[in-house]
Amino acid sequence: MKPRRTTSPARPRPTPRDVVGADPGPAFEITFDGRSVAALPGQSVAAALWAAGILAWRTTRGGGRPRGAFCGIGQCHDCLATVNGIPNRRACLLPARPGDAVTTQEGAGRADLAV
């Protein structure tokens, strides 16, 4: 029986951007809790935050547990964030725009807009 090859040659793996040949254009800046975050044209707020290593941007109403993107398609509401002062925005569906100010949403964001 022929031995299995256990190591592969050291070469960088292509990124999804490489595979599709994407050229999204120059990055722009958004902020998260005052911290500068780079975003690309066409990227959602959640994707920009993830790319910056930010995995949570909301806390739950009961218990204050951290939440971020879960389903990524707008069905679960875990990714709610306050964007430009408006609470309960689905970060996974919202395209990032230059200058957007994203802040951690605590609980429902505002009682009159509770989800």
Beta bridge pairs of residue 95: 44
Mean pLDDT over each residue of the chain, to the nearest integer: 85
In the numeric block, the tokens 């800046």 are attached to 29
Q: Which fold has domain 28-106?
A: Ubiquitin-like (UB roll) (3.10.20)
Helix (H, G, I), strand (E, B) or coil at 45: helix
Question: pTM of the predicted model, to two decimals?
Answer: 0.74
pLDDT tens across 79-115, in order?
A: 899 999 999 999 999 999 999 999 999 876 664 554 4
The pLDDT > 70 percentage for the chain reads 85
Alpha-helical segments (H) within 1-115? 16-20, 45-51
Beta bridge pairs of residue 44: 95
Contact (Cβ atoms closer than 8 angstroms) between residue 65 and residue 58:
no
> Can you say whether the dihedral through the CA atoms of 37, 40, 43, 47 is positive or negative?
negative
In this prediction, residues 47-73 reach a mean pLDDT of 89
Domain borders along the chain are: 28-106
